[in-house]
Amino acid sequence: MKHKGKVWFITGVSSGFGRELAKEVAAHGDKVIGTVRKKEQVQEFNDIAPGITFAHVLDVTQRADVISVMQKTYKQFEQLDMVVNNAGFGFLGAIEEASVVEVREVMETNFYGALHVTQAALPIFREQKHGHFLQISSVAGFRGTQGFGVYNASKFALEGFSEALAQEVAPFNIKVTIVEPGPFRTNFAGPSIKRADDHIDAYAETAGAFERAMHERNGKQDGDPAKAAEVLWQVVNSEDPPLRLPLGQIAYEAVRTKMRNLENDLWKWERTATKTSFET
């Protein structure tokens, strides 16, 4: 039966951003279909707002399963308004330390998982002539950081395809917003983060320094995920939501710093780098 409010599909709702956003959305009366990885997490999520929040066990790396759950959602509610690609995890280690297997594991969830969910929702959004993707990236998807390169790569990939997607689907009244959070007080830097198995002492003062700082700041981050959820609610209900949304003061500062550095490089090298055309 069609719902008067919006119907949301949010991946990764067992904790952190996904959980807080689901609670915020449910508090406003919108239906929330959330995905979790374990069966024991289903009832816990359903109990957040009985009759409003509904959990499905889903591994976003399994394309066929993603399509099945998405179709079940649409069949049950006869609409789909918001899709939030939130499932993912962090990965620490210098580029040289990361094995190909480890890199692929990160990409399977952070990039391909989001791609699977996006592609599964697109036919529904196109048919409806409306929909909105919230792609939960990171400030690490805009700026590379020593010791975080593999995670950077997964989020740069997410942002690249999302930026192209926004142009492709604009004629269908489908919106895309790339969310770039800075540090928030979730379990991202705690139990859920992974590290390269290999360890090379030569990177102790670069990649290693970043890793130590992340662990030291864990639990002390300035960002409040509940307030972030409130901001996202305001954004999706605005008339002109942005393509990119840095989230938190640290994220804004990081984005501005990189933009200034890029602008400086452009000015410094423009005369040299633009001398590449055929003579006429």
Indicate which residues carry an active-site annotation. Answer: 137, 151, 155
Strand partners, 178: 135, 244
Rounded Cα distance, 199 and 252, in Å? 32
Half-sphere exposure of 123 (CA within 13 A, CB side): 7
Please provide the size of the chain in residues. 280
Q: Which residue has the tokens 């970043």?
A: 210
Amino acid at the residue 70: M
Question: What are the distances in angstroms from CA 257 to CA 12, 41, 82, 141, 267?
Answer: 31, 40, 32, 14, 16
DSSP secondary structure of 214-271: HHHHTT--SB-HHHHHHHHHHHHTSSS--SEEEESHHHHHHHHHHHHHHHHHHHHHHH
Rounded Cα distance, 91 and 96, in Å? 13
Q: Which residue has the tokens 């509904």?
A: 54
Strand partners, 134: 84, 177
Question: What are the distances in angstroms from CA 84 to CA 74, 77, 104, 179?
Answer: 15, 17, 22, 10
Tokens at residue 152, please?
């950077």
Rounded to the nearest 10 degrees, the angle between the axes of helix 149-169 and helix 114-128 is: 10
